[in-house]
Structure 1
Amino acid sequence: RYSKNFSRDEVRETVVPCYMGLIKQIDDQLGHLFDFMEKWGLFENTLIVFTSDHGDYLGDHWLGEKYLFHDVAVKVPMIVYDPRPEADATRGT
């Protein structure tokens, strides 16, 4: 059974800004972490990987949960920072 909550504008107008606030909070905290790493010279020997377990509809297809297999729910980012020179050949790919 699918939730119809996200078919209502007032739900999307409340939930989406809250979600964006959480993303900003993560961004702010990563900024603190990266400042610390830079201060102590840790970037040169630290592999960093960002990924997620699933995406979120946030109103796309009028859904808010993760019931179906649309791209927004199953395609997740994976970002890798590898400071090793051996990784130069794959940078930007």
Structure 2
Amino acid sequence: MEITPELVKHLSRLSRLALTPEEEARLEGELRSIVAFFEKLGELDTQGLPELARPVTITNRLRPDEVRPSLSQEEVLSVAIEQEEGQFKVPRVIE
């Protein structure tokens, strides 16, 4: 993938970043080195390697579910701008 000044400007517009010309030039160099690193990783021979290898074993550390004191429904709904049938009523966002 080629990193061009036009691509950097396009990405900055998409990201809604106002970059100075110096920042654009620096970002262009940084993006080039990142892409080069991933291209180098793509050259590695991964034949025979397991699909997923981790240096350490990962285990989920979940706490047990416990009933704790919480606010009542009336207390929670007391701050609602609008409510309907015991629930918050919000403007529709999906057509």
Same-fold call, TM cutoff 0.5? no
TM-score with structure 2 setting the length: 0.27
- Structure number having the greater helix percentage: 1
Identify the structure with bigger relative contact order (alpha carbons < 8 Å, sequence gap 6+). Answer: 1
TM-score with structure 1 setting the length: 0.28
